[in-house]
Amino acid sequence: MEAARLIKKAKRGDKDALLHLIMAEKNAYYRLALTYMKNPHDAMDAMDEMIVRVYEKLDQLKNPESFYSWSKTILVNCCKSLLAEQKRTLPINDWTLTEEKSVHPITQSDHHMEIQELLARLSDEQREALSLKYLHDLELQTISEMTNTPLGTVKSRIFQGLKKLRTLTGGE
């Protein structure tokens, strides 16, 4: 209920209301941006761009209940735009450890390193779909909208990715 009230205020131009909405989910936004951008600075740049775009397009939001999925879609699009500007071609690069180990979205335990190695063997599309579904706990319809991919294709990518992971792990 609070979110709906804040959205109405934000649509009337109340910047503080919009900021309050975004701050309520700042950790989820940051994790999502970090998944795409791979470093904190670029993730924050993507979030800054997302806030500007959300403010500019808030009048286009038809259903206040979908504010968070709508704004996350904008964030993903901002990440992809920034990556394109940086001349990176993949939405999610190989999930290998970087020099800045503390910024990686997955911790460095042996178990997580094994997961990283397995994910690196998937296609980029499968890795993106699995990441959005299981690391960010997004609904399939939301993933479809965020990636501008048909729902059936998202389901197929997740199914095929899980199938390949099962094969790679010997059915575990």
Domain ranges for the chain, please list them.
Answer: 1-90, 108-172
Q: What is the C-alpha separation between 22 and 31, in angstroms, rounded? A: 13
- At the second CATH level, the architecture of 1-90 is Orthogonal Bundle (1.10)
Say if CB 73 and CB 146 are below 8 A apart.
Answer: yes
Q: Is the dihedral of CA 22, 24, 27, 29 positive or negative?
A: negative
Convert the pLDDT of each residue in 128-172 to its tens digit: 898 888 888 888 998 998 888 999 999 999 999 889 888 888 775
> Which pTM value belongs to this model?
0.65
Q: How far is CA 141 from CA 12, 125, 128, 133, 153, in A?
A: 29, 16, 14, 10, 11
Q: Which CATH class is domain 108-172?
A: mainly alpha
